Amino acid sequence: MLDAVPPTRRPSGQRRKRPAKLHADKGYDYARCRAACRRRRIKARIARVGVEPRGRLGRHRWVVEQTLALLKRYRRLAVRYERREDIHQALLTLACCLVCHGRLQERL
């Protein structure tokens, strides 16, 4: 999955191949996961089982979980009914637009 991350553009025009850090919970606390990050020169921020408290990485995970919860409000996305990938992608894009529109309306 780390190799599937698309290159990101930096302000100076240089391209990066991978993110700088990886935040993960205790479910990914394996030596092979940490070694895979080291091979790709990614700093692993993986909570260790039995050592670190559960809430330490919470502020980073909360953003992802909140985004998924916002999209699951739309039933067609929560349970995938569409067989065609292009239709599912279109519905996902539409849901993202509606979420962003709602958030912008709240700020006005």
Look at 53 and 95; give whichever has higher pLDDT: 95
Look at 10 and 68; give whichever has higher pLDDT: 68
In a domain, residue 18? The reply is yes
15-19, 36-40, 69-73: which has the highest mean pLDDT? 36-40
In a domain, residue 60? The reply is no
pLDDT of 55 over the 70 cut: no
In a domain, residue 58? The reply is no
pLDDT of 10 over the 80 cut: no
In a domain, residue 67? The reply is no
Residue 61 CB contacts under 8 Å (≥ 6 apart), including other chains: 23, 25
Domain that holds residue 84: 72-107
In a domain, residue 28? The reply is yes
pLDDT of 23 over the 70 cut: yes
In a domain, residue 100? The reply is yes
Length of the chain: 108
In a domain, residue 15? The reply is yes
Into how many domains does the chain fold? Answer: 2
